[in-house]
A and B are shown apart, each in its own frame.
Chain A
Amino acid sequence: MKEVYVVGIGITKFSRLEYPLIEIAAYPSIMAMKDCGLSSVDHVYVANMGGSRLSHQTALGSALVDHLSLYPAGAETIENGPASGASAIKQGYMAVASGVHDVVMVTGVERMREANSLEATDFVASLAHPLAEQIYGVTLPSMAGMFTRLYMNKYGVTSKHLAMVAIKNHDNAMFNPNAHLRMPITMEGILTGPEASTNNPFVADPLRFFDMCPVSDGGACLILATKEVAKKSKRPMIRLAGVGQATDTHCVHERENPTDLPAVRGAAEKCFKMAGFKAKDVDVAELHDAFTILEIVESEEVGFFKKGEGHLALEKGYTSLKGKLPINPSGGLKAKGHPVGATGVGQAHEIVTQLRGEAGERQVKDAKTGFTCNFGGFGNNVVALAFQKEK
C-alpha cells in the first residue's frame, strides 16, 4: 500500500449559511485546492446525508465536479449517516493507498437549517430502525437520553460532568472563528444558578439543551495525495496514518451491554493498529460529542481512559485545551457545530490544522499525532482516523 498524505484543507464557518448546497461544498473545496496549489484531481468524494431530503438534490459528487470544472474526474456521493464524512475520507484513503488514484478530493457538506428543528431532528431520526424504534418517536436525543441515564446509574457520571464538557467545548470554540456557537457558558448559568432551569431546560432527560449539539450548515474539504505529490505541494507533511471502522446492531436495545459502544472500540483498535501508534501516544483528538455524554464515553472506548473513568479525567482538566490530552479543541460538535455529512471532514480539518501548527489561539503545543472519532447512528457505524506529522 502507498502512504497517503493530507495536502490541502478548507472549511466554511459552521452556522446558518444562506447559500445553495453546492456553494457550501464548493467554497471549502476551492480553499483546499488553493492551499496545496493543485488545480485538478483524479476523483471527488462528497460526503452528505440529507441532500435528497432537505435540499432536494442528489448526485452531489457529479454536481461538485461540474461546479468546479474538474471533469473528467470520477465522482461519488458517500452516505453513512452522521459518519459520512470520515467514511468518505476512508474511501479517499483507499483510492490513493491502492495506487488507483494519486490525488482525491473529499468534501463533506450539509445544509440542515432551512428545515425547522423538528424536521431536522426527524430527518436524522430516519437512521433509527423503522419498525422497532422510529414508530415510537425515538430520536437521536432520546437514544442519548436513555443511554445517559444508564451510564450515570452505572458509573457515577453526573449532570455536572456533562455540563463540564459543554463549558470546555464552548470555551474552545471562542478561539475558533469557524465555530457555530461562540458564546461562553458557566456552570451557574446552565446548571446550578437560579436561572439554570430556564436557560437550560430538559430535552431528553437527563440531557438538557446545552448537552446537545446545534443544527448547523457547513462544508469542509481535504485533498489526499501520494507522498510524491505531497512533497511537491510544499505544505507540512501530514500523513493519514490509519483508518478504522466497525459496526454494531441497528437497534440500541439489542446491544449486549447497553452502556458499551463496541463499534467505537473496534474502529479505534483497527485505526491504531494501522497507524502504528497507540491511544496513549495521541497528542490531540476530536471526538463526536453530538451529546456531551458521548465525549466522555468515546474517550474511554477509544482507549484514552479506562472504562468508567472518562469523567474523572475531565474533572482533572486532562482534556482541556491546556491539559495533557486536549479533546475537541475546535469546540467539537457541541460548539463548533454538526452539519452531519460535513462533520467527519471537519474533525479531520481541525486535526490537520493542529498538526500543521496553524490553529492560532487554540493551538495544542507540539502536537504531532492526532485522532478523530466520527460516530454514525447511535454507535452502529463508527469511523476512526489517525494522523501523524512528519518532518
Chain B
Amino acid sequence: MEISILGYKCSKCGTIHYPNRAICRKCRNEQFTVEPLPDKGKLLTFTHLYNPSGDFDVAILDLAIVELSNGVRITGQMKIDKPEIGMKVVGKIEKVRKSGFQSFKGMVFYKA
C-alpha cells in the first residue's frame, strides 16, 4: 500500500491544513476532507543540524521547510548536495527516524 502525507481540507472554506486541527483556523468549521499533499514544491528555508540525537544515524541532519505546489508548507528532512532557497524539490516518503524498535516515516526532499 502506498503511504501518503495527508492535508486536511476545510469542507467549508477550502483551506488546507497541515498538520490537522479540530477547528479551521480561517472559518472555525469543524468538518474536513483528507487529500494527499502534492510531492512537488520549492525550498523555503533549511538548516544543517550538527550532532543530532542517536535516533538519526547521521552526523549532520538536514532539515527543511518546503512550500508545496498547492501553497501548503511542510517541515521535512532533506537530501540535497547544494541546497538553495527557492530551488525546486520533490518529496519522497521514507524512514526518517528510528527510536528503539519503533521507526517513523515522513517526508524527505530531493532536488527536483
Contact = CB atoms under 8 A, between A and B. Distances in A.
Interface of A: 118, 121-122, 129, 131-133, 135-139, 141-142, 145-147, 149-150, 153, 201-207, 249, 251-254, 258
Interface of B: 17-19, 25, 44-56, 61, 63-65, 73-77, 85, 96-97, 104, 106-107
Q: Is the interface of B mostly helix, strand, loop or mixed?
A: strand
B75 A253 contact: yes
Contacts of A121: 53
Contacts of B47: 142, 145-146, 149, 204-207
B104 to A, nearest CB: 4
Nearest to B97: A135
A136 B76 contact: yes
A13 to B, nearest CB: 27
A266 to B, nearest CB: 15
A136 B50 contact: no
Interface centre among B47, B50, B77 (most CB of A within 10 A): B47
B50 A204 contact: yes
B106 A135 contact: yes
Contacts of A145: 47-49, 63
A186 B8 CA distance: 50
Contact of B77 (A131, A136, A201): A136
A149 B45 contact: yes
A147 B65 CA distance: 10
A136 B56 CA distance: 9
Contacts of B107: 136
Contact of B75 (A201, A204, A206, A252): A252
Contacts of A150: 44-45, 85
Contacts of B52: 137, 139
Contacts, number: 95
B18 A132 contact: yes
A153 B85 contact: yes
Contacts of A131: 19
B55 to A, nearest CB: 7
A136 B48 contact: no
A136 to B, nearest CB: 5
A129 B45 CA distance: 18
Contacts of A258: 44-45, 65, 73
B65 A204 contact: no
Contacts of B56: 137
Contact of B96 (A136, A203, A249): A136
Contact of A141 (B46, B49, B85): B49
Nearest to B19: A132
Given A131-B19, A153-B85, A136 B46 contact: no
Contact of B63 (A122, A136, A251): A136
Given A137-B49, A137-B53, A137-B97, 19 more contacts: A118-B51, A118-B53, A122-B53, A135-B97, A135-B106, A136-B63, A139-B52, A142-B63, A146-B63, A153-B45, A202-B50, A203-B49, A203-B51, A204-B50, A205-B50, A249-B25, A252-B75, A254-B18, A258-B45
Contact of A203 (B25, B50, B63, B106): B50
A311 B45 CA distance: 21
B65 A253 contact: yes
A202 B63 contact: no
24 contacts: A118-B53, A118-B54, A121-B53, A131-B19, A132-B18, A132-B75, A135-B96, A135-B97, A136-B77, A136-B107, A138-B75, A139-B52, A142-B49, A145-B48, A149-B45, A149-B85, A150-B45, A150-B85, A203-B49, A205-B48, A205-B50, A249-B25, A251-B75, A252-B75
